[in-house]
Amino acid sequence: MYIEYIYIFKYLVFCLLISCLLFSISFFLIYQVADIEKVSSYECGFNPFSDQRIKFEVRFYLVGILFIIFDLEITFLFPWLFVIIENMTFLNGYSMFFFIILLLLGFVYEIVKGGLDWE
């Protein structure tokens, strides 16, 4: 009855294990020394030279939002793929194909509208 949730649980456990492994590898392999510059409020190494409330370009937000949208849509394909492989039907294949086509059309629309242009 709840067999479908096992795949989601496996996916979440796999993601958790990979993230913990990468975090612990980076934590234990890098030589860590806390100096005064690193623990200061601005860790870039120099004092701030302007106001922190300067205007920030909207393009950075737009690219960030587009990355999150397309990245999440691709992430949703992996559990779907694991479930479809075991019990593939005609409707499952076309629904995944339709989803990928919609994702591609959204990306092409964003390129045509100039959402990724920096000029």
User: Domains in the chain: how many in total?
Assistant: 1
Distance separating alpha carbons of residues 47 and 44, to the nearest angstrom: 8
> Does some domain include residue 13?
yes
**pLDDT given for residue 12 in this prediction:** 92
Structure token pair of residue 77:
């394909």
**pLDDT given for residue 17 in this prediction:** 96
pTM above 0.75, yes or no: no
> Does some domain include residue 17?
yes
> Does some domain include residue 51?
no
> Does some domain include residue 118?
no
> Does some domain include residue 87?
yes
Contact call for residues 70 and 115 (beta carbons, < 8 A): no
| Segments of the chain scoring below 70 in pLDDT | 1, 36-52, 84, 119
CA 101 to chain centre: 20
> Does some domain include residue 49?
no
Contact call for residues 75 and 99 (beta carbons, < 8 A): no
> Does some domain include residue 29?
yes
* Residue 73 exposed, middle or buried by CB count within 10 Å (0-12, 13-18, 19+): middle
What range defines the domain where residue 24 resides?
3-44+56-113
Give percent helix, percent strand, percent coil of the chain, each to the nearest 5. 65, 0, 35
